[in-house]
Amino acid sequence: MVMLIFLHAEYGCQKMILCYKGVRNPSIQTSESVKKFLLRKGVEDYDGSFILKDSISFMKLVKHITSYPSVSYFTPQGELIVIRDSGFCAGVAYNYGISLKPGSPNRIDSSFMLLDLNPLIQPLSAQKKIEPGDADVILVGFWATYLGSVNNNVFGVCDAVRNNSDVKARIYLINIDFLDSWGQVNLD
């Protein structure tokens, strides 16, 4: 108990929670270390797992997806579904995913489309690309190794949507770690 009080006084509540969840400072990753993370966590590939092509792709992505880890839902036509105005909340995303039914009314943001992701990403393993296909909804999960078990929020939403028998979903994962293949990246 004394140790917890000391840690709280030394680092603050928020830092203790982040440390407990395995969140650490970002570090340069490789595609292999990203694959190993998913394998170690037992996360399935779903309909495809991807990494960002380069730092320019990362900058373009963060203009549209501003919080990490997070998920984004898209219509079968590839339009971004707005499920909440105030950014990502795992509970809201989870509840939305388990209550989805074909033809549910949605608020749409057409300034960012599903297919806008393809020029920014490359497949982590098998040659795949993001496509709407014959799904009722498309879910894209954004995650990073340095976010530790906080990523479980994203993976949990993906599993919930996959298990929703009322809709056919396509699910993609996009890793947003800084990669060694990007060349020199300054994290300071």
CA dihedral 142, 67, 93, 107 (to 10 degrees): -110
Burial 97-110 (b: 16+ CB within 10 A, else e): beebeeeeebeeee
Q: Give me the residues paired with residue 29 across strands.
A: 179
Residue 88 pLDDT level (bands cut at 50, 70, 90):
low
Angle at 179 between CA 125 and CA 51, to 5 degrees: 35
- Whether pTM > 0.75 for this model: the answer is yes
Instruction: Give me the pLDDT at residue 7, please.
Output: 41
Backbone angles phi, psi at 91, to 5 degrees: -65, -45
Pairing relationship of beta strands 49-52 and 121-123 according to DSSP bridges = antiparallel
Per-residue pLDDT at 22 exceeds 90: no
